[in-house]
Structure 1
């Protein structure tokens, strides 16, 4: 029996200290709710947990970014709803003004309302903003942009866009065709020489029949015959008794003069009267009868005019031949007009926790002012201007529709992005919780165990300390 070293007490004390330490850790875990309160608790688990926390917090912020993006897109799209309404009203007004029953006073009132609506479209574009970012007026400095070309409502016109230019193909017109240009109806006439060239020789056994100024003639291989098949003299065609000999094809062709009518097959042609010196491609006796070249010239001018709507610099005809009635053809090149406005606004929404560029969602919003929509300074104060304005407004409505559609698509995408981000956050948080959080039920079992062991250890330490008291009995 020794008194210097009470090994029972030392052992009881050591175990009590172990239990007390474990009890303290259990108390810390239960009170904090975390299984890992310091790196020593689980070094590897702490590293994994912090990595997950970084992802969770990044994804939480990314979800908020996407929600902010939805709000910005909704702001822009809501403003464009009103722009759409104003354009629809402008279309209604232009259609009304294009009607011939309106007086000049009526059209002035219509123009006044169109001017007000155009001004309001510009105001909406200039003032719509989200978090101090202007959404609809574009970004950067102003620069020239092309204005869309229009066919002026002409039948059979084909426009082939080539960037800064447009290749225009007009419908081929033939004598006798009817065409409407700038609200006026025309008939395509022919010059006498053009009609005469259509009179051709037949054969003596298969003569070709023509009616010139009401008289029917037949043409064989060389000679001209009457309707009964008898040869006729030159004098019968010219009325000059001195013209002897049989009439030939050339004599019948020479019979076609200005104003002559010629029936070839089922089609009747009228030779225009368009005297040299005053020639302009328009019949001197009937201004509704014009040559095909004059029609091409007039159509070219109207297409240039219609394609200049909304432009600061008007469209021009790059093919000089179509500026004159006697050289105009069915094809010409149009230099597009242009107007100055800012390029579209573009910004990126960061919707991920990493710096990967695939986590960027681009939002692009074109300039939605009157210049960007192609209706700057639009006029409807004459019947023809109003008619051309209808196409320009239709293009503007299409532009706004396209922009709203794009914004709606982005919004739908962002909503799916938000749902996905929230799902990833939820599952990652669940995984991080399993690593970092305390299982309260399990830890409470440990705490209760350690509490009992601590009490038992204290009791055993007291008993061990009492075991040395027996030495005193030996010293008495």
Structure 2
């Protein structure tokens, strides 16, 4: 072998191996220090990009879960306030039933009225419940309501499905086809509550006299009419009252009758989204509708009672006629102000929750124009009407409570799914990025030994070159 001093290739090769082993050892040392086999794009470009996306996904899912948990907290606060309102309405119904009993004097009813007044004020307090400054039950965060607002619709599915608005009262039948046995000489009492005021009308007998054109008179010329003075241009005719005619004559400023048969199916009306509402049973039914939309036009309760000539209640007729249940609630026109809970990692992956107005005015318990005008139980008739009003208010509260409960349940499922997704994504990211510490330690020990060996060989190769000096002495 030639002896050279300018290019010591053995030393160069040993230095190269030493550098390579040191770099490898340093990488293994970094892996051991971080616990990750991918510490940068240089360790694996595609793996690094995938794992970074997964890390973003995990953080996003964790934030979604926090959003869901905050949403559950908001729902729980709202549900608590609605629960309180439901309890108050239960008590109010108890008091109204008490006031409807004639064992109470007017003085007793006045005391009960004070209790009712305080209960209604507390319902308004409940509606102001808030979370982080968000007042939820005052209508501020309602879902969209069609322009102009919705009308109160009260539907009766206890009457025969063949009943139309032109069916005479004395011919009415129940759902099973049995006659209600209403007679012309009976008395009907209508009661409804609008703007906190109870309005009562009595109709007896159940027919009326009107005039109609006499076709015989109008079919002849003037000469014939003069020759027959006994033939009158108009005849008096007795007609039976129908529900439509009673409403038109006695409550026409506030109410009208909607007959689903006019549309050929079980039509009731249109809801807050402008969509058609049909009867629950899918059959034709009679609906009483408020003449005016929104809270100002709201009809909070509608009562029909039938009495015979002795003043006794006709139970079968009253039970069938006094079964008008609110199918569409009156709401003011509103934009979509529902709360939005972002529960997904993509834009618009969200849950929207609207809270309807739960103040006493929206429940029909207080006038929207006069705060001092509240639901009355001051008389036996008022108390009877108040029972249906409170039932309607209870239904509104229960509907909202059911909706809140369903959305809370959904968010709980969503939270569980988000937690599972986060764990699974993190596990997948771990497979790509986390280091096997046993392999890292083994590789580090190997590279440390190789580095030490390379250092020794570099020293030896440098020593070998120094032997050339002996030739130069």
Q: What TM-score does the superposition give when structure 1 sets the normalisation length?
A: 0.64
- What is the deviation of 1:148? 3.7
1:89 and 2:81 are equivalent in the alignment: no
Q: Is the 8 A contact 1:157 1:169 kept in 2?
A: no
* 1:58-77 equivalences in 2 (<5 Å): 58-77=60-79
In the alignment, what sits opposite 1:466? 463
* 1:264-275 equivalences in 2 (<5 Å): none
Rounded to whole Å, the distance in 2 between the matches of 1:19 and 1:467 is: 22
In the alignment, what sits opposite 1:245? none
- What is the deviation of 1:465? 1.5
In the alignment, what sits opposite 2:45? 43
1:315 and 2:316 are equivalent in the alignment: no
Deviations 1:76-111 (A, max 9, x none): 111100000000011011111111111100111111
Q: Which range moves more in the overlay, 26-35 or 412-421?
A: 26-35
RMSD: 3.9
Q: Specify whether residues 158 and 113 from structure 1 end up closer, same or farther in structure 2 by C-alpha distance, changes over 3 A only.
A: farther
1:404 and 2:391 are equivalent in the alignment: no
Q: What TM-score does the superposition give when structure 2 sets the normalisation length?
A: 0.65
- What is the deviation of 1:47? 1.3
Which of 381, 386, 391 is 1:389 aligned to? 386
Q: The residue matched to 2:354 in structure 1 has which SS?
A: strand
Which of 359, 362, 365 is 1:369 aligned to? 359
* 1:183-198 equivalences in 2 (<5 Å): none
Residue ranges of structure 1 left out of the alignment (5+ in a row): 161-165, 192-290, 306-313, 320-330
Q: Is the 8 A contact 2:124 2:359 kept in 1?
A: yes
Deviations 1:198-225 (A, max 9, x none): xxxxxxxxxxxxxxxxxxxxxxxxxxxx
Q: Is the 8 A contact 2:31 2:37 kept in 1?
A: yes
In the alignment, what sits opposite 1:98? 100
* 1:7-156 equivalences in 2 (<5 Å): 7-125=9-127, 127-139=128-140, 148=152
In the alignment, what sits opposite 2:170? 172
- What is the deviation of 1:157? 9.6
* 1:444-459 equivalences in 2 (<5 Å): 444-459=441-456
In the alignment, what sits opposite 1:181? 188
- What is the deviation of 1:37? 2.2
Q: Is the 8 A contact 2:170 2:182 kept in 1?
A: no
Deviations 1:240-293 (A, max 9, x none): xxxxxxxxxxxxxxxxxxxxxxxxxxxxxxxxxxxxxxxxxxxxxxxxxxx985
Q: Is the 8 A contact 1:181 1:299 kept in 2?
A: no
Residue ranges of structure 2 left out of the alignment (5+ in a row): 172-180, 191-200, 209-237, 259-285, 297-330, 367-373
Q: Is the 8 A contact 2:188 2:204 kept in 1?
A: no
Rounded to whole Å, the distance in 1 between the matches of 2:470 and 2:103 is: 137
In the alignment, what sits opposite 2:311? none
- What is the deviation of 1:473? 3.5
Deviations 1:105-146 (A, max 9, x none): 011111111111111111211x21112111100128999755
- What is the deviation of 1:374? 2.2
Q: Specify whether residues 110 and 455 from structure 1 end up closer, same or farther in structure 2 by C-alpha distance, changes over 3 A only.
A: same
Deviations 1:403-425 (A, max 9, x none): 11111111111111111111111
Rounded to whole Å, the distance in 1 between the matches of 2:9 and 2:207 is: 134
Q: Specify whether residues 304 and 430 from structure 1 end up closer, same or farther in structure 2 by C-alpha distance, changes over 3 A only.
A: same
- What is the deviation of 1:316? 4.2
Aligned residues: 350
Q: The residue matched to 2:102 in structure 1 has which SS?
A: coil
Deviations 1:350-396 (A, max 9, x none): 111112x3x22111211111122222221111111110111111011
Deviations 1:6-53 (A, max 9, x none): 221111111001111111111122212222222212111121112212
Q: Specify whether residues 167 and 456 from structure 1 end up closer, same or farther in structure 2 by C-alpha distance, changes over 3 A only.
A: farther
* 1:239-250 equivalences in 2 (<5 Å): none
Q: Is the 8 A contact 1:148 1:374 kept in 2?
A: no
